Structure 1
Amino acid sequence: MHEILSIDQLDDALSVQGLSFRKTPYRSYEQRISDLKNLKKMLLDNQQDFIDAMSSDFGHRSEDDSIVGDILTSVSGINYSIKHLKSWMKPKRKHIGLLFQPASGKVIQQPLGVVGIIAPWNYPIFLSVGPLTAALAAGNNAMIKMSEFTPKTSLLLAELLANYFPKDKVAVVAGDVKIAAAFSCLKFDHLFYTGSTTVGKLVMKAAAENLVPVTLELGGKSPSIIDEKMDMKTTVSRFILAKTLNSGQTCVAPDYLLCPREKVNELILELKKLYLKMYPTITDNMDCTSIVNQAQYARLKGLLEDAKDKGASLIPLSYDEDNDSLRRMPLTLLLDTTDEMKVMQQEIFGPILPIVAYDTLDQAIDYVNDRPRPLALYIFSFDKQFQQKILLNTHAGGVCINDAAFHVANDDLPFGGIGPSGMGSYHGDEGFKTFSHAKSVLTRGKINLAPLLFPPYGKMLHKMIYKFFIR
């Protein structure tokens, strides 16, 4: 088992990884393909064990939530990398200007070394194996810090990786916040973090002490803007799975809806119809995922209580009451929200969905732009002008038009935030580039005309070159 459990072991583990990387600083295409195939085999051979471990960590997690959110996405990313790795690794030729001829230029994507990956609890396999896929494809070694909220998944991943990879290539770190803080301070060649904006600031500060470059995949309040011309039944069918998958514990889940004022009642009706069809009950429903732990459950309940106390109307979409023992909550709509409510100030990360009425599209755009730039933004309209106006006048890490969240599962689309919702991106070739250094190489042969430009200056050749190129 390669699970590291104490702060004292971290430096030694990093040293071991570093020595291993120095032995093979540029792994061959065949080596990298072998690593990716081993990673895929690990997932496929132990799929049910991963599903069971995640369900145990959550108290109960829908098997299909785990398959869709963790297994399918992870395997898809590995397959995509295997298919395209040869082209990613191929040096790219670059143009060399006339002034510098004769010469040739190219860019080589060089592995960085040992990368650190800090994974969250909400999709513990996808958000650890996804970055690991990119790191291995790029030829790196990796250390993964798993969340303390998913101990069984962490232990299983550590045990299985030990069966498929040598301990000096991939290592798993477990433990609490103190170990996570120490992990952030290590002198990695790159540090990749997925989690909250608050913790992301601490990770970046710790990495800065050693000038470790970081990729931060954070969160935020991802808005959905609905066109007044949209059929509400169609609209709801396009975003409801993104909000209910994993009981809303998803960084790109729609956080609030901006709906034309005259369409709000119709939206509520269609939401209730479809939700009850999907989840006729939450108490004994194996498709309904629990909130991961008591602290998160209490936080979500607190958001509802705070909103109600400050004048919001609460509309639970299930006939069942909250199940405190199983930590299950129905999707609950909020109306008449204000900025003073906590639910409108922090990322919800659960089955709560505020509906904010708007009167004009400009008003809706201003509402989004008055707030920190989100990780995702969703547009529900078949009107090209409506779509373009929002696309060109708002900022977000990524956008879906007439869909929600599933841009994340498309391997050829870069995934990442902007500003408070993150920096850097990955998936597909973007992940390969994130964990590589684009090394520029200028090559001259036996012929070298540079001495013609040597001092003393003022010769006719200098004057001709200056006249020709400075214009």
Structure 2
Amino acid sequence: MREVPAMSTVFDAMRAASRHDQTPSWDIRADRLRRLKRLVRDNHEAIAAAISADFTNRPRQETALLEVFPSLAGIDDALRHGKRWMRVRRVKTGLWFLPAKSRLMPQPLGVVGIVVPWNYPLYLAIGPLAGALVAGNRAMIKLSEFTPRFSELFAKLVQTTFAPDEVTVVNGDAQVAAAFSALPFDHLLFTGSTNVGHHVMKAAAANLTPVTLELGGKSPAIIGPGADFERAVERILVGKLLNAGQTCIAPDYVLVPADQQERFVEAARRCVARLYPDIARNPDFTSIISPRHFARLAEMVEAAARSGAHVVPLTDATPDAAARRLPPVLLTDVPVDTQAMQEEIFGPILPVVTYRNIDDAIGFVNARPRPLALYVFDKNGDVVDHVMRQTVAGGVTVNDTLFHIAQDNLPFGGVGPSGMGAYHGQAGFETFSKIKPVFYQAGLNGAGLLKAPYGKRFERMVKMLMG
């Protein structure tokens, strides 16, 4: 726990610096963003190698696509639009208060805390950090102990890129994470499991620290009756098997028409054979992050089988605990009270649920906690619109998976048990800012009429105001 006092000292220095320069200029913010961009761009190969080593194997191509590219795109978006976002905004003033003026003044909150998970350690650090910096804040980042090589490298890169009172990385175990969450940040963003999110929110509540919680849950994919079936299966499998399913917005289960289950199984087998031939030795297939996570997923499959579900392997490969490679499987006829249907899976296991009509599928989704993501496949716009209007989810991609997270003009966040608050693009700027309302009274105004002692003139004025 030696890191905890140092952590408090760094926080105090950051808070003092933020109070000294309460609203940094655009030039200062842009300089910080450009330095962050150079950090990612100039070190992406070393970062990919460190992440791969932490996973035992994760292809550098996945890190480039899923972490480096969106990180750089998010920074570029902030550089392109940040100066406009930070301008004071004119808003209308109530008729009775003219010629006074009303304005909205964006200001930095101060010191932002960012808790980063292990599954996408670069992107889920850089995305919130870019939002915090473009809004003019200082930031402290707590990285996961499950990615020690990346965490050590990133801490060194940040140390050589930023002053300690601009951006600082904290590494350590769960005790350090708990102490980090208990610091009196001006805003705290946590990405991780719903279970840990409860503890983070409780710690933040002691300081009345506002929180953004990016959690998870069971994100459904609905194959509608009018879907391009083969393409839908492929896009669901692609979204599911990137990073071996260790993605918070991966399709967690799929809803298919009752007469299409076997067709889905056969199409899924063909798809996996195309995507990952010889999957046991294919370097494009990511390993499970740790022995504990591998054991949890293996037990989830076994528990489903014991409960009466059918386990449908999608390849001939067998699980390899030493390399932590878990070949993808489908689960059919899964009882709804099994672990696989109750918990977020976070691995290459995909339950298949059948439905009779689209309203049954919608009812199945709505009977469960609101998900972080929802995917619907159908060529009929009326069907898609019906699903959109009758379900609530953190975000949606139609006729594909995952891509809504990469749109900087779309806020990213959960709803209910899958999270609260949002960021990305201008939404991130707003999250990490106080949009301060300011009323400028005019020199010539009627406010002097609205005061005690109350008499007939006051009564007439109030009657006019009330219409």
Q: TM-score range by the shorter chain?
A: over 0.9
Aligned CA RMSD, in angstroms, stands at: 1.2
Distance 1:264 1:76 in 2: 39
CA deviations over 1:49-85 (Å, ceiling 9, x no partner):
1000101111111111111111011001001111111
- Which of 419, 443, 457 is 2:416 aligned to? 419
Match of 1:401 in 2: 398
* Cα distance in 2 for residues equivalent to 1:318 and 1:281: 9
Q: Please tell me whether residue 353 in structure 1 is matched to residue 332 in structure 2.
A: no
What are the superposed Cα offsets for residues 246-299 of structure 1, whole Å, 9 maximum, x if unpaired? Answer: 010000000000100111111111111111111012222111110001000000
2:78 aligned counterpart, secondary structure: helix
Partner residue of 1:238 out of 235, 240, 243: 235
1:455 alignment partner in structure 2: 452
Residue in 2 aligned with 1:297?
294
2:466 aligned with 1:470: yes
Of residues 216, 220, 224 in structure 2, which corresponds to 1:219? 216
Q: Note the 1:168-179 alignment, pairs <5 A.
A: 168-179=165-176
1:357-379 deviation line (CA, Å, top 9, x unaligned): 11121211111111111001111
Question: 2: CA distance between counterparts of 1:468 and 1:451?
Answer: 16
Structure 1 residue 406, shift from structure 2 partner: 1.1
1:257 counterpart SS class: strand
Counterpart position of 1:430 = 427
- Superposed, 1:28-47 pairs within 5 Å as 28-47=25-44
CA contact (8 A) 2:228 2:378 kept: no
**Residue in structure 2 matched with residue 252 of structure 1 by the alignment:** 249
Partners of 2:113 and 2:398 in 1: how far apart? 34
Is the contact made by 2:411 and 2:427 (CA closer than 8 Å) also made in structure 1? yes
Matches within 5 A, 1:3-402: 6-402=3-399
Amino acid in structure 2 at the alignment position of 1:73: P
What code does the residue aligned with 2:238 have? L
Q: Which runs of 4+ in 1 moved over 4 A?
A: none
Distance 2:186 2:353 in 1: 44
Check whether the contact 1:119–1:147 (CA below 8 A) recurs between aligned residues: yes
d(CA) in 1 for partners of 2:342 and 2:121?
26
1:5 CA drift (Å):
6.5
* Equivalent residue number for residue 446 of structure 1: 443
SS at match of 1:408: helix
Shift of 1:37: 0.6
Opposite residue 76 of structure 1, the aligned amino acid is A
Secondary structure in structure 2 of the residue aligned to 1:143: strand
Aligned with 1:99: secondary structure?
A: helix
Deviation at 1:456, TM superposition (A): 2.2
Give me the whole-angstrom Cα distance separating, in 1, the residues matched to 2:446 and 2:382. Answer: 56
Does the 8 A contact of 1:71 with 1:125 survive in 2? yes
List alignment gaps of at least 5 residues for structure 2: none
Q: CA deviation at 1:400?
A: 1.1
The question of whether the paired residues in 1 share the 8 Å contact of 2:253 and 2:351 is answered with yes
Checking the alignment, whether the CA contact within 8 Å between 2:114 and 2:128 is kept in structure 1 is: yes
Could you tell me which amino acid in structure 2 is paired with residue 164 of structure 1?
T
Query: Is the 8 Å Cα contact of residues 223 and 254 (structure 1) preserved in structure 2?
Result: yes
| Structure 2 Cα separation of the partners of residues 321 and 367 of structure 1 | 32
Query: Which amino acid in the other structure matches residue 258 of structure 2?
Result: R
TM-score, L = length of structure 2? 0.98
Instruction: Give me the whole-angstrom Cα distance separating, in 2, the residues matched to 1:417 and 1:339.
Output: 23
Question: Shift of the alpha carbon at 1:382?
Answer: 1.3
The 8 Å contact of residues 253 and 405 in structure 1, kept in 2 or not, is answered as yes
133-142 or 62-71: which moved more? 62-71
Q: 1:218, 1:420 within 8 Å by CA — same for their partners in 2? A: yes
Separation in structure 2 between the aligned mates of residue 168 and residue 5 of structure 1, nearest angstrom: 20
Partner amino acid for 2:50? Answer: A
Q: Secondary structure at the match of 2:434?
A: strand
Q: Give the aligned residue type for 1:309.
A: R
- Report the alpha carbon displacement of residue 325 of structure 1 after superposing the two structures with TM: 1.4
Distance in 1, Cα, partners of 2:384 & 2:335: 27
CA contact 1:105–1:441 (8 Å) conserved in 2: yes
Look up the SS of the partner of 1:315 in the other structure.
strand
CA distance in structure 2 between the partners assigned to 1:454 and 1:465 by the alignment: 11
CA distance in 1, matches of 2:2, 2:84: 39
Point out the more displaced range, 146-155 or 320-329.
320-329
Which letter maps to 2:376? I
Flag structure 1 segments of 5+ consecutive residues without an equivalent. none
Find the residue that maps to 1:7 and give its secondary structure. helix
Instruction: Look up the equivalent residue of 2:436 and give its one-letter code.
Output: K
Task: Output the CA distance in 2 between the equivalents of 1:29 and 1:445.
Answer: 30
Report the AA paired with residue 170 of structure 1.
V
